[in-house]
Structure 1
Amino acid sequence: MDIKQKVIEKFNEVFGDDIKNLDNIKNFHEQLVIEKKNIKESLTMASTETPSKLFLNVDNIKLEFEKPIKKSNNLLEKINKVLIEDNKTKDVQNDINNIEELEKSLCYLKFLQNIEDISNEMETSMDICDDESMISLYINLVDISYQIETSLCKNLLHYVHETLHYWHNILKDKLSNEYMDILKTLKWPFCGKNVSAIVTPLPDTIIRFKILTEYLLQLQLPDEKHGTTVKSVLLTDFTPVCLPISLLIRPLKQRFIYHFSGNKQTNRRDKPEWFFTQILTWIKDHEKWIDNNVQPVIDSSGFSHIHGKIEFMRGLVQLAVEKLHSELQIVQYDDALFGHFVDEALGFERELRDTLLYPSNQPATVFVLTQAQIFSKWINMEKKYATEKMDSILSATTAWQKIDPYDTDEMKITECADGFLTLLITICDRYKHLPQPGHRLQFLELQLELIDDWRVRLLQLLHQEHCHDPLKSLIPKILNSLNYVSSVLIEWGVTVHYLQLNFFKNKRDAVEVANALSQDNIIIDNEDDENSTIFDDAIGLLKRLENELINEICESIFIDIKNKSKTYIIDKWFSMQNEKQVSSLSLTQSGCLMFQELSLKLHDLHQVLALPIFKLTCKIIAKKLDIYLFNELVLNNKFNVGGAAQLKFDITKNLFTLFGIYCIKPESYFPLMRESCILLNTLLGSAMLMIEAISNGDDDENNGKEILADIGVYKMSTETALMVLQTRTDIGM
């Protein structure tokens, strides 16, 4: 079938689909015959030549196979020879390995012999009291210990360490005893009668002291050089003090334990300031001597990273910290004693940091106070005492008096506001040295809570007030207090201390939100947080109360003024005498009561309110009065020429003058009345033309505005201006 298919395909290829194309079939047949003939001839030739070619190929193949066989035989012989030689080499290698093992053993023995020789030399040096040689040999032992610290020879490491510790203890005891004898000669420590020894040290003794100090500095174990810390039972770790400084502290520590433990009269729980003061006194009495006699030795010995005075301070501070820690476990159940301990501990911390420049990265008493149980007790005590203090401030008989009654200050600061801010400052001073932001934030939350509590207490006082006249009540004094506290909190909010706390608080809140939403990669938009302060919410609540009180005062005053203005409002403005008919204009008689009341109220406000509050109150009262007079007086009356002139005189020469005593440009507070007086007193011809122009340009508001602006009317709309013009009796409309 395949051959048949190929034939069909061949015919289709030659003739295609056109049946008429069969004319070439004869040529195609001849071509096929020729191809058949050629194939037969090639087959005949192949049948005669193939046997000879096959024999030739077989010979060639045989030769090709024989060559690799020969090579493989040669290679096999070589391999056998190499294997014989390798067996001999293996025997030699075993001997070499044995030699190496023997060499290692010999080196091991030599190393042990070296350690033993050093020990023997140290023993000899010790017999002849050659301290310098002993220290040099000890340093060699330390170096050897460093060299083999990565070795896998456990027994060797143990032997070297044991030897090193053995000589360390011997040298430490020997040199320490001699060092303590030298200190006695120097009359160390410089306490009581020995203070004069600071001025007149013995030259030979001080030289020996410096030599021994250098030896003791060199006398360190490897783990001490790496700065291994000793875990304290306290919440923090105290790095061990270097050996010479610890020996300097030893007699002071003995005195401290003697005076501040057991049944000694100086060991009183109600007097923690005694042991704190003693530590500070020792530091102050000895710091210069250490700087002059110990620090130069430390620097010249290659230990410049050690600061002698700080080491000395740290050793003494540790005594105070351990004493504080032990006492707080007992006094934490007595609020009075606990509070006294906290006060003295914070005072001790401030003295260390600010006066003695004790580094902030070194532990002190605050680290004891920030233990979980103690810190919880501390912050609860702070809240308790702060609440009690706030109660006493608010209940004091002079709480609402000015700090200085004879001082004409613009803020009119009350003792209540000043005392409350002092309370907040005191709390801030007590916690600002805490190293952990989380602890500082807890105290900040206490401050914010106290601010809100203070606001609530002011509200309670206001609710207890039953006075019809707000100016004679506590409202102005409370207003002044609110304003002063708010202004101070605004200033505090942009200080470095509170900006840092705001940053930490925002970060903490963002983490809490992320945890609540179970999204580790949540993106919090902090753009608003960057422009906010930590007191914004508290200030907002204080300002809300402040605005409520201001509105209450303004409303009360406005009602009184309105009651005095009834006759003035309904006066006969349509029939008043012309300015030409009287010698001179004077205040309208019916308005005397209103203007008198307004004058008294402004005076009283100025006397009792802080200047910023007073200015705001003036604006509010002026706005209310402006709207009231415009609606009730101007729009509800008719004005002849005399009435218009009289109103203008009352407003510009009396009303503006009253407010001008306390503010600049009082006319800006009364835009409606000022522009009403302009419209009422415009010449009749100009008024008529204005009405006509405005009326004909109803569809063009801007044109009417321009016409009004030409006579000084800017705030009033054209419709309102027409209403004012219609109140003129000389315009018939």
Structure 2
Amino acid sequence: MATAGPPGCADVPAVVMAAADAGSCCEITHYVAEFVEKEFGNDPKSLKKLLQITEELALYKRNLEEQVLTVSSEVPKKIENAFKNAENSKRLLSDLLEKNATLSKSISSHLETAQPWMEELKVSIGQIEEIERHLWYLKWISQIEELSDCIQQHLMTNSVSDAANTLVSMAELDIKLQESSCTHLLNFIRSTVKFWHKILKDRLTNDFEEVLKQLHWPLIGPPQSQILAVASAANSAELNNNLETLFIQLLKLQMSDELVTKRKQLPEKYEVPASLPIAIPVQLMLLPLQKRFKYHFSGNRQTNTLNKV
């Protein structure tokens, strides 16, 4: 806390501070001499200020002493308060550490007590998961058998279109289950798809080939003769409707056909890019043309030669 010098004696604090900073007896004497010379000089009348200067220095001294006493009394209190705060913080920290140790010990004891229960719970969870897998397995088996029963009932009522739609659902389920690791389940659904696919394909193939036969397929000859052949067929409108219906039903078997039929692959040396499989009804319509081609160009007769192609 700074204290102003005595009134009318502004140089007194400066002299005192300078003397204090000087640190040697000679320098203090020098500063005091300069102060006396400045205040009194050689004029005897200036000695009248001696009493005033003495009083001002005494007042300044008392102010300094009061400041020293004030600081001396406040600093110990601050130190004492800081010490008390430190003690309180230390005590609080000690309490927290003790509570932490007690809580940690309680948790360790609880975990140790609960460990056998956790092991039993883990076993129970494993059993539940195993039962759930069995339930899912039975669910898939039940769904496959349900679809199989539906196909059988549709065939018994001659609802071939509905049977083909149900086979599509079964083929989609087959594709969905391919990510499963249950090999017996995969074999079961694949064999079931293959079983009904063969029955439906054979039945639809016979009906489709019969309609093609009645329509005089393949149409060979001049365009006019082809039109006359189709127009002369009895019930040509009904045959066309049957052809369209059977064509659509055979297309529904395409998905299951790709699942159960192993596609032929050419040797790698030919480097032929993979192509999409030919639709089943289109394959059936190509069969008569293949037979005629083989008969005319691949037979044993001398006139049969591929050069005619």
TM-score tier after normalising by the smaller chain length: 0.5 to 0.7
Going from structure 1 to structure 2, the CA distance change for 1:92 and 1:260 (only over 3 Å counts) comes to same
**1:175 paired to 2:204:** yes
Give the distance between the partners of 1:104 and 1:121, measured in 2 at CA. Answer: 26
Contact 1:145 1:161 (C-alpha < 8 Å) held by counterparts? yes
Contact 1:186 1:205 (C-alpha < 8 Å) held by counterparts? yes
Corresponding residue to 1:29 among 24, 28, 36: 24
Which segments of 5 or more consecutive residues in structure 1 lack a partner in the other structure? 1-23, 34-44, 276-733
Going from structure 1 to structure 2, the CA distance change for 1:102 and 1:32 (only over 3 Å counts) comes to farther
For residues 84-106 of structure 1, the C-alpha deviation after alignment (integer angstroms, 9 at most, x for no partner) is 35643553453233223212201
For residues 156-190 of structure 1, the C-alpha deviation after alignment (integer angstroms, 9 at most, x for no partner) is 23332232223222222221122111111111111
Give the distance between the partners of 1:223 and 1:203, measured in 2 at CA. Answer: 30
Q: CA deviation at 1:76?
A: 2.1
Corresponding residue to 1:146 among 175, 184, 196: 175
**Matched residue, 2:254:** 220
Contact 1:148 1:157 (C-alpha < 8 Å) held by counterparts? yes
Taking only the aligned residue pairs, the percentage that are identical comes to 26
**Matched residue, 1:681:** none
Contact 1:217 1:243 (C-alpha < 8 Å) held by counterparts? yes
Q: CA deviation at 1:138?
A: 0.3
**Matched residue, 1:185:** 214
How does 1:363-512 map onto structure 2 within 5 Å? none
Going from structure 1 to structure 2, the CA distance change for 1:82 and 1:183 (only over 3 Å counts) comes to same
Corresponding residue to 1:197 among 220, 229, 249: 229
How does 1:510-529 map onto structure 2 within 5 Å? none
Going from structure 1 to structure 2, the CA distance change for 1:32 and 1:152 (only over 3 Å counts) comes to farther
Give the distance between the partners of 1:236 and 1:31, measured in 2 at CA. Answer: 116
Corresponding residue to 2:285 among 244, 248, 251: 248
Q: CA deviation at 1:58?
A: 10
Give the distance between the partners of 1:67 and 1:132, measured in 2 at CA. Answer: 79
- Asked which structure has the greater CA Rg, the reply is 2
**1:84 paired to 2:113:** yes
Scaled by the length of structure 1, what TM-score is found? 0.28
**Matched residue, 1:398:** none
State the one-letter code of the partner of 1:252.
Answer: L
Contact 2:174 2:190 (C-alpha < 8 Å) held by counterparts? yes
Give the distance between the partners of 1:255 and 1:249, measured in 2 at CA. Answer: 10
**Matched residue, 2:98:** 69
Contact 1:216 1:244 (C-alpha < 8 Å) held by counterparts? yes
Going from structure 1 to structure 2, the CA distance change for 1:27 and 1:130 (only over 3 Å counts) comes to closer
Q: CA deviation at 1:57?
A: 10
User: How many aligned positions are there?
Assistant: 229
Give the distance between the partners of 2:240 and 2:86, measured in 1 at CA. Answer: 110
State the one-letter code of the partner of 1:261.
Answer: S
Corresponding residue to 1:261 among 298, 301, 307: 298
Contact 1:189 1:251 (C-alpha < 8 Å) held by counterparts? yes
Which segments of 5 or more consecutive residues in structure 2 lack a partner in the other structure? 1-18, 29-71
Q: CA deviation at 1:74?
A: 3.4
Going from structure 1 to structure 2, the CA distance change for 1:267 and 1:64 (only over 3 Å counts) comes to same
Going from structure 1 to structure 2, the CA distance change for 1:96 and 1:174 (only over 3 Å counts) comes to same
Give the distance between the partners of 1:78 and 1:266, measured in 2 at CA. Answer: 99
Give the distance between the partners of 2:284 and 2:303, measured in 1 at CA. Answer: 24
Q: CA deviation at 1:131?
A: 0.8
Contact 2:197 2:257 (C-alpha < 8 Å) held by counterparts? no
Corresponding residue to 1:211 among 239, 242, 245: 245
Give the distance between the partners of 2:283 and 2:26, measured in 1 at CA. Answer: 121
Give the distance between the partners of 2:84 and 2:282, measured in 1 at CA. Answer: 105
Give the distance between the partners of 1:222 and 1:138, measured in 2 at CA. Answer: 7
Contact 1:229 1:239 (C-alpha < 8 Å) held by counterparts? no
How does 1:324-343 map onto structure 2 within 5 Å? none
Contact 1:230 1:240 (C-alpha < 8 Å) held by counterparts? no
Give the distance between the partners of 2:212 and 2:178, measured in 1 at CA. Answer: 37
Q: CA deviation at 1:119?
A: 1.9
Going from structure 1 to structure 2, the CA distance change for 1:203 and 1:266 (only over 3 Å counts) comes to farther
Scaled by the length of structure 2, what TM-score is found? 0.61
Contact 1:189 1:252 (C-alpha < 8 Å) held by counterparts? yes
Q: CA deviation at 1:132?
A: 1.7
Contact 1:138 1:164 (C-alpha < 8 Å) held by counterparts? yes
Contact 1:180 1:247 (C-alpha < 8 Å) held by counterparts? yes
Contact 1:146 1:222 (C-alpha < 8 Å) held by counterparts? no
**1:112 paired to 2:141:** yes
Give the distance between the partners of 1:32 and 1:122, measured in 2 at CA. Answer: 125
**Matched residue, 1:125:** 154
State the one-letter code of the partner of 2:180.
Answer: S
Q: CA deviation at 1:248?
A: 0.6
For residues 659-691 of structure 1, the C-alpha deviation after alignment (integer angstroms, 9 at most, x for no partner) is xxxxxxxxxxxxxxxxxxxxxxxxxxxxxxxxx
Q: CA deviation at 1:243?
A: 0.6
Give the distance between the partners of 1:32 and 1:136, measured in 2 at CA. Answer: 121
**Matched residue, 2:130:** 101
Contact 1:230 1:239 (C-alpha < 8 Å) held by counterparts? no
